[in-house]
Structure 1
Amino acid sequence: MGFLSFFAALFFALLSGCVSSAPDLKAPPSELPWEPQAPFRGEKKVEIPAEARALGHFAKGQSLLSQGEFGQALTEFEGAIQADPSNSFLRFRLATLYLRKGDLKKALRETEEATRLDPSGVDNHLLLAGLYSSMGEEAKSVREYQEVLRLDPKNQEALLYLGALYLKLGDYEKATKSLEQLLAVNAQSLLGHYYLGRVRAKSQLYLAAEESYRKALELNPKSEAVLMELALVYELQGKMENAIQTYKRLLQANSNNVWATNRLGE
């Protein structure tokens, strides 16, 4: 019995010691304040990458174009360039819009910058060549078409327009070479045969010109430009009956063709 009394006294002593050593707690607060802890505290504001902002402007611009809102679309594309000025594709796309607007200076500026940013871009050089040509800078245009052909030797657009440009400049030998290269790549090029016919006619190679024009007519029998020039080639050779029949054929394609009517004296 004394043994049990000892342990009972020891238990209550330990219990009273635990209670007395526990701290007194205040009443809990009505609201629990929350302070952001690391890694949130002191974080900088998240910046949207330039590429993402540019893409947003581009997508909106494309959507506006599809809705016929050209002016607003142009503003969005300009915003895309401001967000990502080193993007050559966006520069090229903006240049095409300026061209559509008729602002050749801005179109040229953007195309030149697109070409500087991406010198291997064939489309950049093609557009630049066309702009130079339309602005009377034929030498620069020739240089750009030659660069296209260095990058893509079988580029049909460059071969065609370079041939036409050489024709305009009176360099019939180079024009012939360029157009023959085009026809070696694509024998079904209507414009290739047509321009080669013009080069040959200018070079007074009338039989060869006839051949080119006839091949063009096989591809488009009602082409007024080809029929008219073929008739003139016949006239220059004194083949008047062939010329008359060609003019009549031209009037069958278009009864209102004034040139053919006048040549036939009708």
Structure 2
Amino acid sequence: MINFNRFFSSLPLLLATLAVQYDEGKTESNAERLLKFGNSLLAQGQLAEALTQFNSAVDNDPKNYMAYYKRATVYLALGKSKAALPDLKMTMKLKPDFTSAFIHHGNILLKIGKMDEAAKDYQEALRQDPNNQEAKTNFESIPALKEHIIDAGQFVKENRLTEAVDYYSRVVMYMPWNVTFRALRAEVYMKEGSYYKAIDDYKSITKLKPDSMAEYLQMSKLHYALGDLEDALSDVRECLKLDQDHKQCLPHYKKLKKLDKQYSQAQEFINGGRYEEAIQKYTKTLDTEPDVPLYKMRSKAKICHCYRKLHKTVEAFKICNEVLEHDEENVDVLLDRGETYLIDEMYDKAIEDFRKADEIENTQRTEEALNRAQKLHKQSLKRDYYKILGVKRNARKKEILKAYRKLAQQWHPDKHEEGPAKDKASKMFMDIAAAKEVLSDPDKRQMFDQGEDPLDPEEQQKRQQWGQPFGGGFNPFGSGGGFKFHFP
């Protein structure tokens, strides 16, 4: 079956070939026909096809300077500047008065940093065409570039890093294919702490030289120092592709791979609510990487989170504080410490942490945490059902009911004589019953934990206005209360 899409897409190329063969076959040489066809393809942006035609033209007529020049043009368009140099050299040899060939040859030499050789090409171009502005500008830039290189080196010695970067950048602008000056600028970037800029230079170097193991290793170390563990692993793998037994890349890779695996396993434990195991795994990362503060603090921040989830407030406070001493704007840790303050009912401190986190990040999670803490603080000034029953905020329903029964027996009004003692018992009994009603009901308990009292008359009224549940008041002695006591 005919593939019409492929047929029609190749039709222009076929017609152009036939046209050249038919119309010009009798009057032009084979090389000239190939050149004309190559030019047509080049104009259409079909570089690979044009290169094929120019290769054939060179083979058919090795003394045709234009065939070499056109092939060099394609090499340059393909980013293969080194391949273009011999063709331009041959063009200059076959046609010594071809000014453009000298300029292109000089431009390539200048870009790779061969300034003296480039200067000779520009001089010859200017001898042939004294008004050629491109040759004149580039030729006159060379002495200044040599001075910039010397000055940049002196600035580095004097620790004038900003000026050194500026001068090396001027050099790199004219010599973008020179590995040496990019490497020198990268070193200055590292000294001033501009790691990402240094990485960009090293990345360019890896495209300019085939044996880039040292550059890939340096990129990996910089990404690692920045906390970009995934990128660091990717870089060092490129080094190992070039040399799988590289003496520096291999141990560096093993360390990074081990740390990455530990982090992944620890996060899986957190996702599964296995916080004790997560703490153990994050503690091991501190042995894998004991020196780089960024990773130590990253692991300790996660340990802080796990202790908070386990309601181990003493341990959580200790390690959260340690992280915040190094990074006071760590939002995750501020939120975890704030939650720990809530567990210990230190509402002012919690609000302070949540407010700071919200100022830094200002997202839904920080706003919700702050609003919840403010509600809980307001609620704490009223009735605290957890305190009434004497249970922790993370107490299970079984513990709540047990505490309720014990206190209900203690404070039941029937067990107290008439007078102040009975009045106090009635008040305590009502509070105990209210606490039991709220904390034993998942929905009401959730509302209370979010800072709302489902038995508060004002809040009941608001909920009724909005059509929400839990209206109708509360009577511990009513028939629907369900509070029956059987004393031995």
With the shorter chain as reference, the TM-score category is 0.3 to 0.5
Choose between structure 1 and 2 for higher RCO, CA contacts under 8 A separated by at least 6 residues: 1
Q: With structure 2 as the length reference, what TM-score do the two structures score? A: 0.26
